[in-house]
Amino acid sequence: MNFNKINIKFIILIASITTLVYANSLKNSFVYDDSWVIINNKFVKSLKNLPLVFSKKYLTATKDIDFLGIYNDIGSGETTYRPIVTLTYFIDYHFWKLNAFGYHLLNLLLHIFNSILVYFLAASIAKEKKIALLASLLFALHPVNSEAVNVISFREDLLVFLFFMSSLLFYIRLDNYTNPKKTFVYISSLILFLLSLFSKEMAISLPIIIILYDYYYGKAAPILNRFKSRYAGYFIVSTLYLLIWGLFIGNKNSPFKHMDYSFYKGIFTMSVTVMNYLQWLFIPTGIHATINDHTLVFSALTPKVIISILLISICLIIAFKTFRRSRGTSFSIVWFFITLLPVTNIFLLNNIMASRYLYIPIFGFCLFLSILLLKLSSVEPVRLCKLLAKYAIAVILIIYSMLAVMRNTVWRDNISLWSEIAKHYPNNALAHSNLGLHFFENNLFDSAINEYSKALRLSPDAAAYYNGLGACYYSKGMPDEAIVQYKKALILDPKALKAYNNLGLALNEKGMYKEAIECFQTIVRMDPQFLPAYNNLALVYIKMRRWEDAKRILKCAIEIDPHNEKTRDILKEFIQFNY
């Protein structure tokens, strides 16, 4: 592909159509994990934390996620090392604070740029601008990509694609240059690869893709020679990344485990997952946000496993058979499976599947479908087949656009999102409890109570759900009912700090000051850094006019976090009463 002869009209068309389809995403709010990494996270809100991105303090342990709005110094909200993503949040917050529009605008711009990169790479492979344009439009509009574009905390998928594809394109261009420019392009490709790895781990497949590209399209040369002159750099970068990730950064979180899971059994789960992904790509209905409901597949004799293995085998046979006749077709199939491999659950993931995982692999699908549709136009009778191909392309792009626009509305807010998740997972307690939480946050207390009650019927031993239900009753002005639920939570989990804190608030509301003080003091004994307990304890002392006790507790709170707004408000109230 000669980059100097790029059709600017095509680029403008790609950008315009993508903007039109995703324009309604710009009015969406923060959803899903955005609360962890942005809204309730102090990490990205202060530039003094910028150096911590390159230290062990960057990672947040899974057990600490729920306390990001309470504790200081518990990391970025990321449980794996993705510093490039977090750096973009620093930039976003600097310009937009908590205005979600700016964050969504950057996501959209990244998706547009990625769609243009698809055009470049498809043109390099297929050598036809029409195929490249169609592949780019399919990528830009396919509804499966809506998740990656709409959720700010899933920007990692947009960024890893950006650097992954850029690195590959730089590599492809190597033979067009001589030294020293060739060396510069090669080093640039390696740097882009490193940036892709520090955006998301699934970029690790790039060296394999580069080797396969050379096998399909490169000049004939012994692989050992090419390894020394080219491939070695990518494997060195991979090793460097693993060393930084493992030795210097480490991981505070244990991998997700299942007592019956093994590598051998993982093949069955992997095959069914791949089949589900292929269905989403070819028949883009039923695409939905997923949660881990632990539905693993442990038997080779189930119909889903048999069908999925058969389907995967057919795809690989087609890739092998079309190698000489249509290398683009063969390469697109191989691309899909190689780039999907890191997220197929050979090693069990916390999220078994998610549509955002397809953001890199979908390039293979888009290239495959583009080649297929445009080859249809050359089949006899040519005139009829050309007409059919044009109509098929138009219909597919229109359907994709409509479905993408509809998918964008699902991500409008957390109520819309978790309503869909609860619909797809009606027997999952977590889905109902999260929906209940977001109803609660929007003051829809009766709806919240209904969802928490559903969650408790499905999981009656979950202390957090009783705590959530109690919070609903408390906010409705029903402290007695709230106290009952908080006590149930504490019976199930005597170390539930939030339940103790909420119980103390309800007892304070009832005028049971002594009991409320005992709750807050219990929290302080268990965790001297739990700031809300100090704030609430100070309020009780102020209400009881125990000024010295209030002063002492406020002093402790200020030592924990001198910039906490809640503490400062209570301090003003204390001063007002005393003066």
Do 450 and 306 reside in the same domain of the chain? no
Spell out the residues 6+ positions from residue 314 whose beta carbon is closer than 8 angstroms to its own: none
Which residue type occupies 34? D
Q: How many domains does the chain have?
A: 2
Phi then psi for residue 413, to 5 deg, are -160, 175
Q: Distance of CA 198 to CAs 86, 206, 241, 299, 387, Å?
A: 10, 13, 8, 36, 46
Is the Cβ–Cβ distance between 102 and 86 less than 8 Å? no
* Residue carrying structure tokens 């619909």: 423
Do 305 and 388 reside in the same domain of the chain? yes
Is residue 203 a part of any domain in this protein? yes
Do 447 and 366 reside in the same domain of the chain? no
Whether residue 112 is predicted with pLDDT greater than 60 in this model: the reply is yes
Residue at which a domain ends, from 407, 434, 463: 407
Q: What digits encode the pLDDT tens for the residues 458-509?
A: 999 999 999 999 999 999 999 999 999 999 999 999 999 999 999 999 999 9
Is residue 1 a part of any domain in this protein? no
Is residue 2 a part of any domain in this protein? no
Do 235 and 373 reside in the same domain of the chain? yes
Domain that holds residue 426: 416-578
Do 352 and 436 reside in the same domain of the chain? no
Is residue 215 a part of any domain in this protein? yes
Share of the chain above pLDDT 70, in %: 91
> What pLDDT is attached to residue 348?
63
Which residue type occupies 79? T
Do 350 and 477 reside in the same domain of the chain? no
Residue at which a domain ends, from 355, 389, 407: 407
Q: What single-letter DSSP state applies at residue 495?
A: T
Do 475 and 526 reside in the same domain of the chain? yes
Q: What digits encode the pLDDT tens for the residues 526-539?
A: 999 899 999 999 99
Phi then psi for residue 186, to 5 deg, are -65, -45
Q: What digits encode the pLDDT tens for the residues 232-268?
A: 999 999 999 988 877 766 555 544 454 455 666 667 7
Confidence class for position 4, pLDDT limits 50, 70, 90? very low
Do 433 and 454 reside in the same domain of the chain? yes
Candidates 162, 52, 43; CA nearest to 92 is 43
The pLDDT of 184-188, averaged and rounded, is 95
Q: What digits encode the pLDDT tens for the residues 209-227?
A: 999 999 888 765 666 677 7
Do 403 and 502 reside in the same domain of the chain? no
> What pLDDT is attached to residue 432?
96
Q: What digits encode the pLDDT tens for the residues 374-419?
A: 888 777 787 787 888 889 999 999 999 999 999 999 999 999 999 9
Per-residue tokens: 246 = 């493992």
Is the Cβ–Cβ distance between 428 and 458 less than 8 Å? yes
> CATH no. for residue 451?
1.25.40.10
Is residue 456 a part of any domain in this protein? yes
Do 421 and 400 reside in the same domain of the chain? no
Residue at which a domain ends, from 347, 380, 407: 407
> What pLDDT is attached to residue 411?
96
Is residue 546 a part of any domain in this protein? yes
What pTM was estimated for this model as a whole? 0.91
192 CA to centre of own chain: 21
Do 345 and 475 reside in the same domain of the chain? no
Helix (H/G/I), strand (E/B), else coil: 417: helix
Do 255 and 167 reside in the same domain of the chain? yes
